[in-house]
Structure 1
Amino acid sequence: MTAAEKRCELVILETSDTHGHVYPINYGNNKETNSGLAKIASLINQEKQKYKYRLLIDNGDVIQGTPLTYHYAKFLQDQKNPIISILNSLEYDAAIIGNHEFNYGMNLLLDSVMESNFPWLSANIIDRETNKPRFGQPYLIKEFDNGLRIAVLGVTTHYIPNWENPSYIEGLNFEDAFKTTEKWVEYLKENERYDLLVVSYHGGFERDLSSGEPTEALTGENQGYRMCNELEGIDVLLTGHQHRRISKYINGVLVVQPGFHGQTIGKVEIFFEMKEGRWTVVNKSVELLEVDDSTIAEEEVLALAEENEDETQAWLDQPIGEIAGGLLIENAFEVRLKDHPLIEFINRVQMDAAGVEISNTALFNNESPGFAEKVTMRDIVSNYIYPNTLKVIRISGQDIKDALEKCASYFILDENNEIRVNPAFAEPKPQHYNYDMWEGIEYDLKISRPLGSRVVKLNLNGLPMNLLEQYDVVMNNYRAGGGGNFDMFKDKPVIKEIQTDMTELLADYLLKRKTVYQSCNHNWRVIY
Structure 2
Amino acid sequence: MSLPTALCTITRRSLIGGAAASSALVMLHPFAARAAANQAHLRIMETTDIHVHVLPYDYYADKPNDTLGLARTATIIDSIRAEAGNSMLIDNGDFLQGNPLGDYIAYERGMKEGDKHPVIKAMNVLGYDVGTLGNHEFNYGLDFMFKVLAGSNFPYVCANLTKGMLASDPKRDELFFKPYVIVEKQIRDGSGATNPVKVGFIGFVPPQIMTWDSKNLEGKAQTRDIVDAAKAWVPAMKEEGADIVIALSHSGIDSSGFSDRMENASLYLAGVEGIDAVFTGHQHLVFPGPKDFDGIVGADAKKGKLMGKPAVMAGFWGSHMGLIDLLLERDGTSWKIVDSTSEARPIYHRDENRKVVADVKDKPEVIAATAQEHEATLAYVRRPVGKTSAPLYSYFALVADDPSVQIVSNAQSWYIKDMLKEGPYKDYPVLSAAAPFKAGGRGGADYFTDVPAGDIAIKNVSDLYLYPNTVQAVLITGEQVKNWLEMSAGMFNQITPGTKDAALLNDSFPSYNYDVIDGVTYQIDLSQPVRFDKDGKLLNPNAHRIVDLQFEGKPIDPVRKFVVVTNNYRAGGGGKFPEIAGDKVIFVAPDTNRDVIVRYIVSQGTINPSADGNWSFKPLPGTSAIFETGPKARHFAGEIKGAKIEDAGEGENGFAKFRLVL
Q: What residue ranges of structure 2 are gaps of 5+ in the alignment?
A: 1-34, 167-171, 187-194, 289-303, 349-357, 421-429, 440-446, 532-543, 621-662
3-state DSSP class of the match of 1:492?
A: helix
**Aligned counterparts of 1:118 and 1:476: Cα–Cα separation in 2:** 35
Q: 1:328 aligns with which of 387, 390, 393?
A: 393
Deviation of the 1:256 alpha carbon: 0.5
The reply on whether 1:436 has 2:515 as its aligned counterpart is yes
**Aligned counterparts of 1:417 and 1:159: Cα–Cα separation in 2:** 41
Deviation of the 1:63 alpha carbon: 1.1
Q: 1:448 aligns with which of 527, 532, 535?
A: 527
The reply on whether 1:373 has 2:453 as its aligned counterpart is yes
Deviation of the 1:378 alpha carbon: 2.0
Greater RCO (Cα-Cα under 8 Å, separation 6 or more): 1
Instruction: Report which of the two structures shows the higher radius of gyration computed on alpha carbons.
Output: 2
**Aligned counterparts of 1:172 and 1:9: Cα–Cα separation in 2:** 40
The match for 2:227 is 178
Q: 1:255 aligns with which of 292, 311, 314?
A: 311
Q: Contact 1:134 / 1:172 at 8 angstroms: preserved in 2?
A: no
Q: Deviations over 1:87-126 (max 9, x none)?
A: 1221211111100111111111111222222221110111
The match for 1:224 is 266
Q: CA RMSD in A?
A: 2.3
The match for 1:350 is 412
**Aligned counterparts of 1:353 and 1:419: Cα–Cα separation in 2:** 40
Q: Deviations over 1:328-384 (max 9, x none)?
A: 34x33xx33332333222101001111172101001121222432222222222222
Q: 1:195 aligns with which of 240, 243, 247?
A: 243
**Aligned counterparts of 1:420 and 1:282: Cα–Cα separation in 2:** 45
Q: Go from structure 1 to structure 2 and tell me whether the alpha carbon gap of 1:290 and 1:165 turns closer, same or farther (over 3 Å shift).
A: same
Q: Go from structure 1 to structure 2 and tell me whether the alpha carbon gap of 1:432 and 1:87 turns closer, same or farther (over 3 Å shift).
A: same
Deviation of the 1:57 alpha carbon: 0.8
The match for 1:384 is 465
Q: Contact 1:120 / 1:135 at 8 angstroms: preserved in 2?
A: no
3-state DSSP class of the match of 1:484?
A: coil
**Aligned counterparts of 1:505 and 1:134: Cα–Cα separation in 2:** 35
Q: Go from structure 1 to structure 2 and tell me whether the alpha carbon gap of 1:439 and 1:220 turns closer, same or farther (over 3 Å shift).
A: same
The match for 1:289 is 345
Q: 2:433 aligns with which of 346, 360, 370?
A: 360
Q: Which amino acid aligns with 1:37?
A: L
Equivalent residues in 2 for 1:118-517, closer than 5 Å = 118-128=154-164, 132=173, 134-145=175-186, 146-189=195-238, 191-207=239-255, 214=256, 220-228=262-270, 230-247=271-288, 248-292=304-348, 293-329=358-394, 331-332=395-396, 335-355=397-417, 357-366=430-439, 367-374=447-454, 375-414=456-495, 416=499, 420-423=503-506, 426-427=507-508, 431-452=510-531, 453-517=544-608
**Aligned counterparts of 1:421 and 1:122: Cα–Cα separation in 2:** 40
Q: Contact 1:106 / 1:169 at 8 angstroms: preserved in 2?
A: no
Q: Go from structure 1 to structure 2 and tell me whether the alpha carbon gap of 1:420 and 1:364 turns closer, same or farther (over 3 Å shift).
A: farther
Q: Go from structure 1 to structure 2 and tell me whether the alpha carbon gap of 1:421 and 1:479 turns closer, same or farther (over 3 Å shift).
A: farther
Q: Go from structure 1 to structure 2 and tell me whether the alpha carbon gap of 1:518 and 1:8 turns closer, same or farther (over 3 Å shift).
A: closer
Deviation of the 1:15 alpha carbon: 0.7
- With normalisation by structure 2, the TM-score equals 0.73
**Aligned counterparts of 1:152 and 1:422: Cα–Cα separation in 2:** 39
**Aligned counterparts of 2:381 and 2:342: Cα–Cα separation in 1:** 40
Q: Contact 1:140 / 1:152 at 8 angstroms: preserved in 2?
A: yes
Q: Contact 2:404 / 2:449 at 8 angstroms: preserved in 1?
A: no
The match for 2:300 is none
The match for 2:47 is 15
**Aligned counterparts of 2:262 and 2:473: Cα–Cα separation in 1:** 27
Q: Go from structure 1 to structure 2 and tell me whether the alpha carbon gap of 1:285 and 1:169 turns closer, same or farther (over 3 Å shift).
A: farther
Q: Go from structure 1 to structure 2 and tell me whether the alpha carbon gap of 1:194 and 1:385 turns closer, same or farther (over 3 Å shift).
A: same
Deviation of the 1:217 alpha carbon: 9.5
Q: Contact 2:165 / 2:222 at 8 angstroms: preserved in 1?
A: no
The match for 1:115 is 151
**Aligned counterparts of 2:503 and 2:325: Cα–Cα separation in 1:** 42
Q: Go from structure 1 to structure 2 and tell me whether the alpha carbon gap of 1:187 and 1:379 turns closer, same or farther (over 3 Å shift).
A: same
Q: What residue ranges of structure 1 are gaps of 5+ in the alignment?
A: 208-213
Once structures 1 and 2 are overlaid, which stretch shifts more, 106-115 or 497-506? Answer: 497-506
The match for 1:64 is 97
**Aligned counterparts of 1:418 and 1:448: Cα–Cα separation in 2:** 14
**Aligned counterparts of 1:304 and 1:502: Cα–Cα separation in 2:** 32
**Aligned counterparts of 2:559 and 2:71: Cα–Cα separation in 1:** 55
Equivalenced residues, count: 511
Q: Deviations over 1:398-433 (max 9, x none)?
A: 21111111011211134626564443xx23xx6111
Q: Contact 1:392 / 1:472 at 8 angstroms: preserved in 2?
A: yes
The reply on whether 1:83 has 2:163 as its aligned counterpart is no
Q: Go from structure 1 to structure 2 and tell me whether the alpha carbon gap of 1:64 and 1:373 turns closer, same or farther (over 3 Å shift).
A: same
- Identical amino acids, percent of aligned pairs: 28
Once structures 1 and 2 are overlaid, which stretch shifts more, 129-138 or 177-186? Answer: 129-138
**Aligned counterparts of 1:502 and 1:176: Cα–Cα separation in 2:** 30
Once structures 1 and 2 are overlaid, which stretch shifts more, 367-376 or 342-351? Answer: 367-376
3-state DSSP class of the match of 1:412?
A: coil
**Aligned counterparts of 1:337 and 1:223: Cα–Cα separation in 2:** 32
Deviation of the 1:221 alpha carbon: 1.0
Deviation of the 1:306 alpha carbon: 0.9
Q: Contact 2:164 / 2:174 at 8 angstroms: preserved in 1?
A: no
